[in-house]
Structure 1
Amino acid sequence: MKKSHLIGLTLLTFSVTLSAHAEEKRYISDELSTWVRSGPSDDYRLIGTVNAGDEVTLLQTNDNSKYGQIRDANGRTTWIPLAQLSEQPSLRTRVPELEKQVKDLTDKLTNIDGSWNQRTADMQKKVAGSDSVINGLKDENQKLKNELVVAQKKVNAANVQLDDKQRTIIMQWFMYGGGVAGVGLLLGLLLPHMIPRRKKSDRWMN
């Protein structure tokens, strides 16, 4: 059998086992580079490479050879082992995104930390201000208590003075009353002797 006939038979066999797929995104596995071929098996010649992490479009697959036909970003259509394709972006493409996410989270944490520190400082200021107000109120309360004690002492002293004055006034009234009574008694005793008695003959004459 001629070599051309063998190649034709091989192509026919592969063409029968090809499976049609809707175009799907795939990513080259995490290797430095991957060889691609002109057909769906290792028998086809190498026609170039694709870089690890590149996004490609899966056009169709060959179930027998486990190859898939892809179209790269340059529009080139080639074949590659399905094992070297992934449904998830490669680490090479995900690392920058992960680094960005880490940076964003770090920035948020920094902002949160700064905000928390500011809130803590504000609360400390408020507490310090409250302590100052409380201490001021305590001092004012103590001052009022001292003034109340002084006022109570003054009231007690005034009451004592009032009692003394009342007693003095009462004693004065007693003294005045006693003096008047004494003068009346003295006059009662003296007046009969001071007024001359009339004789009985004078009374008869009258």
Structure 2
Amino acid sequence: MKKLFYMVLVTMLAAPAAFAQDRYIADKLFTYMHSGPNNQYRIIGSVDAGEKVNLLQSNKETGYSEVVDEKGRKGWVQTRFITRQESMATRMPRLEKELAEVKNKLANARQSADSEKAGLAESLEVRNKQISELEKNYSDISNQLTASQEEVRKLRAKLDTQKDDLLLKYFMYGGGVAGGGLLFGLILPSIMPRRKRKNSGWV
């Protein structure tokens, strides 16, 4: 029996915790508007938090101020509820709008930056390609120049060799001619018949 009683008691204590859920107090406050400068005067309405009012006068003794609300009603509210700063209920929509505009500008700036970055990357790629082509062309031209210089060197060497051969041929030809002339000069007298000398005697 006691065990059953304890079970029922635990269930009753746990039930509120089981059904409890997180909630928040709504930010919709208001203050009463009285017909006179204290709460002894009758209530003629209420003013919502954040509502704009026109301050007419203040009574420091009672702590109340006379105002005119946006509906044109004139009455008294507690001075401590009146402030020069707009309430969050009024500022929040404007701040949210400004935040949305800033986010939009940031997104546009980021998009522009990404687009500019892509353009720079593409331009850099084109420049690198052009540099690579120039380097390849320079390498080809350098190779061609080296080959041409080598060919010129070979041609000059060949020309020098031909000059030497030509000079040697000239010398050999000249020597041959000179040798032939000398030989001909030596052989010719022996070939030609000699004239007999007449003996010229004394009579």
Provide the TM-score with structure 2 as the length reference.
0.79
* TM-aligned CA deviation for residue 190 of structure 1: 2.9
Instruction: Establish whether residue 147 from structure 1 lines up as the match of residue 117 from structure 2.
Output: no
Distance (Å, rounded) in 2 between the aligned partners of 1:39 and 1:107: 50
Instruction: Establish whether residue 123 from structure 1 lines up as the match of residue 130 from structure 2.
Output: no
1:69 is aligned with what amino acid? E
Partner residue, 2:42: 45
Distance (Å, rounded) in 2 between the aligned partners of 1:197 and 1:152: 71
The range that moved more, 61-70 or 143-152, is: 143-152
Distance (Å, rounded) in 1 between the aligned partners of 2:154 and 2:141: 20
Any unmatched runs of 5+ in structure 1? 1-29
SS at 1:86's partner residue?
coil
Instruction: Establish whether residue 75 from structure 1 lines up as the match of residue 64 from structure 2.
Output: no
1:110 is aligned with what amino acid? A
1:89 is aligned with what amino acid? E
Which residue, out of 73, 77, 97, partners 1:100?
Answer: 97
For residues 141-195 of structure 1, give each alpha carbon's deviation from its aligned partner in whole angstroms, at most 9, with x where no partner exists: 1111221222122112212221221122111101111112112212322343326
2:146 is aligned with what amino acid? V
SS at 1:65's partner residue?
coil
Distance (Å, rounded) in 2 between the aligned partners of 1:49 and 1:198: 178
Percent of aligned pairs with the same amino acid = 37
SS at 1:148's partner residue?
helix
Partner residue, 1:56: 53
Provide the TM-score with structure 1 as the length reference.
0.78
Greater relative CO, 1 or 2 (CA 8 Å, sep 6+): 1
Distance (Å, rounded) in 2 between the aligned partners of 1:48 and 1:114: 52
Number of positions where the alignment pairs a residue of Structure 1 with one of Structure 2: 174
Which residue, out of 66, 89, 98, partners 2:86?
Answer: 89
SS at 2:86's partner residue?
coil
Distance (Å, rounded) in 1 between the aligned partners of 2:106 and 2:91: 22
Distance (Å, rounded) in 1 between the aligned partners of 2:142 and 2:48: 88
Any unmatched runs of 5+ in structure 2? 1-26
For residues 105-155 of structure 1, give each alpha carbon's deviation from its aligned partner in whole angstroms, at most 9, with x where no partner exists: 100110011011101101110111111111111111111122122212211
1:63 is aligned with what amino acid? K
Instruction: Establish whether residue 196 from structure 1 lines up as the match of residue 199 from structure 2.
Output: no
Partner residue, 1:134: 131
